[in-house]
Amino acid sequence: MKKSTPERTCSMNPVALYFAYGSLSLKALFAFRIDAVLRTLAVFVREFASVIVVYLILQRFPDLGGWNMNEVLFLFSFLFLTYAIMIALFTGFRDFDMIVNSGKLDLLLIRPRGTMFQLMAYNSDYLATLGHGAVGITLLVWSAQAVGIVWNPARVAFLLLTLVSGVLIQGAIFVAFSCLSLWFGKSGNVFRALYRNSRKIAGYPLSIFPDAVRSIVLYIMPFAFVNYFPAAWLLGKTDGFWPGLPFLSWLIGPLLFALAYVLWRFSLLRYSSTGH
């Protein structure tokens, strides 16, 4: 078996190198297997407990703007599934202000690979991926069956494209807020507050909120395109919105990520070391 050398690692194509990074991360995480299993289980239990709370609330309010309990849980499944995939790719951007302020970013900048690539491959939170993914799959399978969705090739393709776009939308949000850390040193607290609260709002039908709240999840933190519009199409709902919005989701993801990448490149050129 050939050992990896710096020269051989640098010559690897990006996909192979990403999986090499991932393999090392998994080995590190599962060096203590019981701890890794318990941490994954803890994520699953924590997130599933939040679903149970929603379930109990919906027992008291069986109809939210024309959405029943099973339909709302179907809405939630998109959030869990897209987050599970996204966090495997963008953990480095979630904790980016700490990377900047610790001086670790300077090390990434002097390496031969692109900084964004290194951050995407760096220290991926696979345990969160497993925990959120398990909740998302459970919710999707159960709620889709409960609301009577009949899966055919068109609906499966729609779901897959929606998940990809949802991952890109949230990844773009992570990258865009990371750019603030390049300019100001810290942005993590603001980012986490906005992201988490917007994600909570997105778990419910957009039609029940006032215009000000809708504007947040439409234009500032566009979670409506991650789950609300696609789920509404699969459920045969319109809620008075333009029928083309679910398909616009496929464009929003790549477009936002392209814009976030341009902003990232621009901000990185203006970065000055923290001096650590």
Identify the residue with better confidence: 2 or 119. 119
Mean pLDDT, all residues of the chain = 84
- Please state the rounded mean pLDDT for residues 163-189: 86
Residue 111: enclosing H or E segment and its boundaries? Answer: none
Phi then psi dihedrals of residue 239, to 5 deg? 55, 25
CB 275 within 8 A of CB 122: no
The answer to whether residue 1 scores a pLDDT higher than 60 is no
Q: Contact 246/97 with Cβ under 8 angstroms?
A: no
Per-domain boundaries in the chain? 13-269
Number of residues assigned to the chain: 276
What pLDDT, in 10s, does the model give residues 105-160?
A: 888 888 778 888 888 887 777 878 888 999 999 999 999 999 999 999 999 999 99
**Strand, helix or coil at 267?**
helix
- Cα(42)–Cα(113) distance, rounded to whole angstroms? 35
Question: What is the distance between the alpha carbons of residues 238 and 227, in angstroms, rounded to a whole number?
Answer: 13
Residue 209, CB-side half-sphere exposure with 13 Å CA sphere: 18
Amino acid 112: pLDDT: 79
Crossing angle of helices 69-94/153-184, nearest 10°? 40
Q: How confident is the model at residue 2 (pLDDT cuts 50, 70, 90)?
A: very low
Q: Give the percent of the chain with pLDDT over 90.
A: 33
Can you tell me the distance from the alpha carbon of 35 to that of 44, in angstroms, rounded to the nearest whole number? 14
Q: How far apart are CA 76 and CA 178, in angstroms?
A: 26
Residue with the bigger pLDDT between 30 and 271: it is: 271
Q: Is the pLDDT confidence value at 13 over 80?
A: no
- Of the candidates 128, 143, 71, 62, the one whose C-alpha atom is nearest the C-alpha of residue 94 is 128
The model carries a pTM of 0.86
Mean pLDDT, residues 36-55 taken together: 80
Residue 163 has pLDDT above 90, yes or no: yes
CA–CA separation, 113 vs 34, rounded Å?
Answer: 34
Q: Is the pLDDT of residue 6 over 50?
A: no
Q: Which residue has the higher pLDDT, 226 or 53?
A: 226
Q: How far out from the chain centre does Cα 66 lie? A: 27
- C-alpha of 56 from chain center: 26
